A = this chain, B = another copy of it.
Amino acid sequence: MSATRRQLAEAREARAAYRGGLVRPTSGVAHGLVQANLISVPADWAYDVLLYAQRNPQPCPVLEVLDAGATEPAMAPGADLRTDLPAYRVWRDGELAEETGDASSAWEEHPDLVSFLIGCSFSFEAGLVEAGIPIRHQELERNVPMYRTCRPCAPAGRISGELVVSMRPIPAHRVADAVQISGRYPALHGAPVHVGDPEGLGITDIGTPDFGDAPEIGEGEIPVFWACGVTPQAAIMASRPPFALTHAPGYMFVTDAPDSRYRV
């Protein structure tokens, strides 16, 4: 259940590179270590966010909650949430105000920010790759395609919004394997929420995702949809808290925790 020295070195190097200004999607980085979605809100909003996550554990599996103002996660000792992600989004009144590679000013503006690290589907991608299931967006060196759906999440206090999903095209004869492998990580989105039939999720144009890059779906491949940790960003858009900071979709926080810690 411990990360190897090589993995930890790779995670630290990646965080240092992002701190130094590198901006690149993190899919495939530090293979075998957990990557996390970030959402930080002023302390006054923390209960609503934590309750929203508790009521919607498949899209919002909480891995760690930092205390107000804290920036060094237990999942990555020595790291700094203000600088160690490749790209951040700053939200004001539910509108995307800025994308930046350094979020230090967010903590200066709101010294009481409470940060949530939320599980990411990149973790089970490692298991899929090990099982010989191709991950198309990794092959294309693109960001995973993500879609807002018509499926509402359970509201909590002032927060509501719809489910966001990530999509991977899977050869029909490997769909069952992909379901079973991802299902072993219930704390990291788990099994798909939907297999095929994009319209059933309210997705009318599979070629135009709401976040990430356009997909390529090959002959005989089925679009498979997993609950996505960008769901809190859709909730920000719908619920309009005065301020929030998140990662940019696909540009995750690379932790020191091994995926195996969350495998059942």
Q: Contact at B264–A186, with CB atoms within 8 Å?
A: yes
- Find the B residue at minimum CB distance from A191: B264
Within 8 A of B (CB), among A181-205: 183, 186
Total A residues in contact with B, Cβ cutoff 8 Å? 13
Distance from A263 Cβ to chain B, minimum over Cβ atoms (Å): 11
- Find the B residue at minimum CB distance from A74: B154
Within 8 A of B (CB), among A33-61: 46-47, 50-51, 54-55
- With A and B bound together, what is the CA distance between A67 and B65 in angstroms? 21
Pick from B65, B183, B264: contact of A183, CB under 8 Å = B264
Number of copies: 2
Pick from B46, B55, B264: contact of A47, CB under 8 Å = B46
Within 8 A of B (CB), among A216-264: 264
Distance from A50 Cβ to chain B, minimum over Cβ atoms (Å): 5
- With A and B bound together, what is the CA distance between A55 and B51 in angstroms? 14
Distance from A65 Cβ to chain B, minimum over Cβ atoms (Å): 6
Distance from A40 Cβ to chain B, minimum over Cβ atoms (Å): 15
- With A and B bound together, what is the CA distance between A230 and B62 in angstroms? 22
- Find the B residue at minimum CB distance from A55: B65
Which residues on the B side are within 8 Å of A183 (C-beta)?
Answer: 264
- With A and B bound together, what is the CA distance between A46 and B54 in angstroms? 13
- With A and B bound together, what is the CA distance between A46 and B51 in angstroms? 10
6 A-B pairs closest in CB distance: A47-B47, A264-B264, A50-B50, A54-B62, A186-B264, A51-B65
Known contacts A51-B65, A54-B54; 14 further A-B pairs (Cβ under 8 A): A46-B47, A47-B47, A47-B50, A50-B50, A50-B51, A50-B54, A54-B62, A54-B65, A55-B65, A67-B157, A183-B264, A186-B186, A186-B264, A264-B264
